[in-house]
Amino acid sequence: MNEPSPNSHSLVQWVEPGQLIRSLSSGQLLMVDPQRPNALIICKTFHAEFAGPGAAVGGPLDVDSSGVLPIGDVALLHPQGYQERQNAYAKRLHWMRWLQQITDNPLPAQRARVLLFSLEEFFSADLVSQLPDDILARLVGVLPQTIAAARMEMMPLYSPSYSLAG
């Protein structure tokens, strides 16, 4: 009766970012903790992918990763069993489709704004403001300057001292 329950997971602890990318590139399948507001941005050669809560990471998906940016208090779990692995792959596809919907917009400035607004729905504006422009740009196929301009455009929305009266 010492069998683990279907909902028990072994938590993967990370000491350094380099260890995280080595593990993702090794082919070991993990998943982003579905119970936390956390995610990974996984950098590839010419683009980046977003893996939000519940998404599979590593395994055959990320062998070619060149970098990884954790967002929030990231916890990675080992999926338990076939069904949980399938669900994790489905979640990864869900996040890919989410980014594809943003990327389908032909206007780069609009893609940048929608990405920033969407990320701020999941995470705090403070946390999103700390994410590097060049990495965010790779998510939706825009220049880093476009992300920076979208941030500047959005600044008045978050500044309580902002006034049109001057």
**pLDDT averaged over consecutive 10-residue blocks of the chain (166 residues)?**
45 63 86 94 96 96 91 91 97 98 98 97 93 98 98 73 46
- In this prediction, residue 9 carries a pLDDT of 58
- CA nearest to 118, candidates 133, 132, 102, 129: 102
Half-sphere exposure of 120 (CA within 13 A, CB side): 15
- In this prediction, residue 21 carries a pLDDT of 82
User: CA–CA separation, 89 vs 48, rounded Å?
Assistant: 17
Identity (one letter) of the amino acid at 129? S
User: CA–CA separation, 75 vs 132, rounded Å?
Assistant: 21
Q: How many Å from the N-terminal Cα to the C-terminal Cα in the chain? A: 70
- In this prediction, residue 10 carries a pLDDT of 56
Question: Which ranges of the chain does DSSP label H, i.e. alpha helix?
Answer: 17-25, 81-103, 108-122, 125-129, 133-140, 144-158
Those residues whose C-beta lies under 8 Å from the C-beta of residue 130, and which sit 6 or more positions away, are none
Question: Model pTM?
Answer: 0.84
- In this prediction, residue 14 carries a pLDDT of 54
